[in-house]
Amino acid sequence: MKYFVLLTMAVFCLLLGGGDSTVWGQSPQPPQPQLPAVIDTAMVEITLPEGSAPCVFVAVSNDTLGFGVGGALMLEFGDASFLPLAADLNLSAPWLKISDWQGSSEAGGIIFGVHAYRLNPFQIKVGSVVTPVIHVLGSTSDLSETAAIRMPRSWATRWWILVIAALLLTALIMGLWWLWRRRVSLKPLDQWEPAAPAWLKASIGLRQLLENDYPDLESSRQFLDQLSLITRGYLAGRYLVHAGEMTSGEILLSCQMKGHDNRSLRRLVKILQGMDHQRYNPDPPVVSWCRAQAGEFLDAMAELRIEPRYIHVDAALKLEADKAWSWLLSPENCPLDSTSSVGGDR
């Protein structure tokens, strides 16, 4: 599209700047000398309305008027009892306009505004009195000069304008076709609903993990791997971060940038950091310590547990999560600290 815009600008500049040039490939021709116009003095007769006194004097303020430029027409009458208006005057020439009268300084005189729309000289006759010859200037400032006449050029000598117009039209059609091909159709917005609380799936996964038997040290490392996945899944759903692809430090930084509460967040990140440290420790973790981390995670999750009162949740998922949560609250199923806050209405 940028080439189309540049082409359009260049053509318009050429048309504006080179309108007076001749045909391409030819040198400009000197203007042809103009013959002086034949002097054709017109006589404009002004007929006064009936009942008006005869005019005894008529004159124009200047002997030369500009084309369409106003001048003053002065009329004097022998009797001032009745003075005509500009609308009452009848002119024999349609190219002469008279209007805007006012009383003159002398009794029985009227001054009208006069505008000439004809280049040839003329005289004004009112009754038996006639003005001197009045000249009209066109595009020249001297009566001895003749205004240059520009002859209209034939379209045959400007064939290149037609070619450029055709190219512009073609470019415009191609540009509109290109825009039509790249149009983006508006699609309806997808139905969006708030996500279900993260503790629902986390409680179900934690119960399934604790129900499995991990008797030896080798299986404890596998236990920590699964517990780490459940914890990261909970953090991703609760804080809307890509916790599954981040380290514990990156999770904390990303959540802080989103403006989440640091107290509960730091506790979850600390639990996850401890699990990651033991997972990659050459010595396998102790089984009792691994199960204690599950209790720590359950207690931290209980502080943030929210019942889905205004969020649509699948009934089967909610029922299974409630069962898992009740199962986890039993001390024989999930070991907890004596200071744990799990229980009550949480």
Domain ranges of the chain: 42-136, 199-328
What is the distance between the alpha carbons of residues 97 and 87, in angstroms, rounded to a whole number?
10
* Domain covering 42-136: architecture: Sandwich (2.60)
- Report the C-alpha gap between 346 and 325 in whole angstroms: 10
Q: What is the pTM (predicted TM-score) of this model? A: 0.45
Check residue 234 and give its pLDDT: 93
Distance (Å, whole) CA 319 – CA 175: 60
Of all residues in the chain, the percent with pLDDT exceeding 90 is 12
pLDDT tens for 318-330 read 889 889 898 888 8
Mean pLDDT of the chain: 76
Range 135-165 burial, b when 16+ CB lie within 10 A, else e? bbbeeeeeeeeeeeeeeeeeeeebeeeeebe
Q: Could you tell me the CA-to-CA distances from 195 to 30, 201, 298, 310 in Å, in that order?
A: 84, 12, 21, 11
CB 75 within 8 A of CB 57: yes
Q: Which residue has the higher pLDDT, 338 or 324?
A: 324
